[in-house]
Amino acid sequence: MIWDELDARLDALPGTVSAYAGRVDAPATWTRQPDATHYAASTMKVAVLLALHRAAEAGTLDLDAPVEVRNEFDSARPDAPRFACARHYDNDGAVWEREGGHAPLRWLAERMIVRSSNLATNLCLRHVGLPAVAEAWAAAGARHSVTGRGIEDFAAREAGITNLVTAADLAALLGGLAAGATRPGPLASPAGCAAMLDVLFAQEFREDLAAGLPDGVRIAHKNGWVRGVRHGAGVVYPADAPPYALVVCTTGDPAGGGAADGDACLLLADISARVWAARHDLRPADAA
């Protein structure tokens, strides 16, 4: 079986590899340490995106209203000074070009996903708040994922306040958006879920899960990476099979032999390609 072969291969690698694969709105076909917590890196930005849309639908935020682009943020550690993002550590110059001016929250949310902008993320968090992100995780059915602070809040990090995800929780979040776009659900309206999926489809960093798919296959996804961490989470839309959720979270040196991020990307791409090849057979594990 492909899943036994995958597990055997991953068992031989150092580090921790968690995974989830299964059709949207159905039990998983294959999981591997699905509830192991990993540092979230930028995958937490999907929960921030959901929190923004939920607040907009509740009438507490106007996503099209311009907000100040000011690079100064309150730390999640109450006694800490305010902090700022480092421009060289960001992936999106477009947001920084608006520093000192204004930008709509909707545009900032898009840059947060499409270019994984840290500055945009913290600006969005400033307006929606960490409690709303916790509510978004809870609405998705997440059991272990926590968004405790903004990006580059080093004082909070030193105090043990962190951002965590699991493969199962990310699959619930992304799968919930995919299901919610087709019928009313607990996350947001169908129109809201569809709008969020459109942003995730436009994600420009495609070197991991997306790299394992044939050209032209649509994937609504978000990845995240810092030193020693590489995650990919998405929903794949084959033309000849139902959509499926795929999440791979890696911590440590899962590719073996040196911990290069490029090696981790290749590992995620290979897993993605193998799951794609099995897309017609993604039945629940207890029915496989």
Final residue of a structural domain among 126, 161, 196: 161
pLDDT score recorded for residue 253 = 64
Co-location of 97 and 236 in the same domain: no
pTM score of the predicted model: 0.96
50 and 107 assigned to the same domain: yes
pLDDT single digits (tens) 69-121 = 999 999 999 999 999 999 999 999 999 999 999 999 999 999 999 999 999 99
My answer on whether 88 and 121 are in the same domain is: yes
Closest by Cα among 76, 84, 165 to 118? 84
In this structure, are 230 and 246 located in the same domain? Answer: yes
Contact predicate 254/16, CB 8 Å: yes
pLDDT for the residue numbered 39: 98
Domain count, the chain: 2
Say if residue 173 is in the same domain as residue 195. Answer: yes
Query: Which are the contacts of 270, defined by CB distance < 8 A and separation ≥ 6?
Result: 212
pLDDT at 144: 98
Last residue of a domain, one of 110, 126, 161: 161
Residues 6+ away with beta carbon under 8 Å from 51: 128, 129, 132, 133, 135, 136
Identify which of 91, 94, 97 has the alpha carbon closest to the alpha carbon of residue 222: 91
Output the CA–CA distances (angstroms, integers) from residue 23 to 165, 172, 276, in the order listed.
20, 11, 12
Q: What is the full DSSP assignment across 23-71?
A: ETTS--SEEESTT--EE-GGGGHHHHHHHHHHHHHHTS--TTSEEE---
CATH number of the domain to which 212 belongs: 3.40.710.10
Is the model's pLDDT at 257 over the cut of 50? no
Q: Are 264 and 254 in contact (CB under 8 A)?
A: yes
Looking at the structure, tell me whether residues 224 and 261 fall in a common domain: yes
DSSP count for the chain of H helices, then E strands: 10, 10
| Residue 260, pLDDT above cutoff 80 | no
Residue 255 has pLDDT above 70, yes or no: no
Q: Which residues pair with 38 in a beta bridge?
A: 165
DSSP 128-161: H-HHHHHHHHHHHT-SS-EE-S-TT-HHHHHTT-
Q: Which domain, by its residues, includes 265?
A: 1-36+166-288
Confidence of residue 254 (pLDDT cuts 50, 70, 90): low
The residue ranking higher by pLDDT, 95 or 284, is 95
Verify that 170 and 288 share a domain, yes or no. yes
Residue 51 and residue 153 share a domain: yes
- The pair of structure tokens assigned to 146 is 């926590």
Model pLDDT, residue 285: 81
Biggest distance spanned by C-alpha atoms of the chain: 56
- The reply to whether 104 and 174 lie within a common domain is no
Write out pLDDT tens, residues 173-208.
Answer: 999 999 999 999 999 999 999 999 999 999 999 999
pLDDT in tens, 218-250: 999 999 999 999 999 999 999 999 999 999 999
Q: Determine the 3-state secondary structure of 236 from DSSP.
A: strand
- pLDDT for 286: 73
Is residue 1 packed enough to be buried (19+ CB in 10 Å), middle (13-18) or exposed (0-12)?
exposed
The dihedral formed by the CA atoms of 222, 161, 155 and 106, expressed in degrees to the nearest 10: 40
Residues 6+ apart with CB under 8 A from 106: 63, 64
Question: Do both 206 and 277 map to the same domain?
Answer: yes
The one-character DSSP state at 285 is G
Instruction: Let me know whether 95 and 177 are in one domain.
Output: no
Distances 38 to 33, 48, 183, 209, 260 between C-alpha atoms, Å: 11, 18, 31, 18, 18
Q: Is the pLDDT of residue 44 over 90?
A: yes
The residue among 131, 161, 191 that closes a domain is: 161
Q: What is the mean pLDDT of residues 210-222?
A: 99
Residues 138 and 246 placed together within one structural domain of the fold: no
Listed in order, strand segments (DSSP E) in 132-243 are 146-147, 163-165, 218-226, 229-237
CA–CA separation, 280 vs 278, rounded Å? Answer: 6
The answer to whether the beta carbons of residues 208 and 269 sit under 8 Å apart is yes
